[in-house]
């Protein structure tokens, strides 16, 4: 499968931190591939995005401290609650009312915090 370029990309700003996001495909359903860990950027999902983008809208993001997102200093900027709030801010800013959430590792914990 060939890599796919995003249809739209931009930044969500939350608490002064720019969070890079990308949108692929279109449709009524959205799949949001969360960051999996604080040291892994959205390219982790590059093999899944092309397939899903043929069937629905796909949202990805680079978590704070990684990829094209800002890198705030200090451990307090990288709590689980902060990452979950960042993901919700990206959903709001990209006009995503609901989404199927996909992740693993730490991202699964962030998904649970998002749903709480």
The number of domains in the chain is 1
**Which ranges of the chain does DSSP label H, i.e. alpha helix?**
49-53, 80-93, 106-115
Per-residue pLDDT tens over the stretch 41-50? 999 999 999 9
Looking at the chain, how many residues does it have? Answer: 116
Is 3 within a domain?
no
HSE-up of 86 (CA within 13 Å, CB side)? 29
Per-residue pLDDT tens over the stretch 7-40? 999 999 999 999 999 999 999 999 999 999 989 9
pTM of the predicted structure, to 2 decimals = 0.95
Residue 22: give the domain boundaries.
8-115
Is 93 within a domain?
yes
For residue 96, the domain's CATH number is: 3.40.50.1820
Is 78 within a domain?
yes
Is 80 within a domain?
yes
Is 1 within a domain?
no
Is 46 within a domain?
yes
């Amino acid at each position: 499968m060939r890599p796919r370029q995003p249809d739209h990309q931009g930044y969500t700003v939350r608490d002064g931190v720019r969070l890079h996001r990308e949108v692929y495909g279109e449709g009524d359903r959205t799949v949001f591939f969360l960051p999996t860990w604080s040291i892994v950027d959205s390219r982790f999902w590059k093999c899944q995005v092309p397939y899903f983008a043929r069937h629905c809208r796909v949202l990805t993001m680079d978590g704070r401290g990684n990829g094209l997102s800002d890198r705030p200093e200090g451990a307090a900027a990288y709590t689980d609650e902060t990452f979950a709030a960042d993901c919700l801010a990206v959903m709001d800013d990209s006009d995503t009312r609901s989404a199927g959430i996909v992740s693993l590792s730490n991202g699964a914990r962030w998904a649970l915090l998002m749903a709480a």
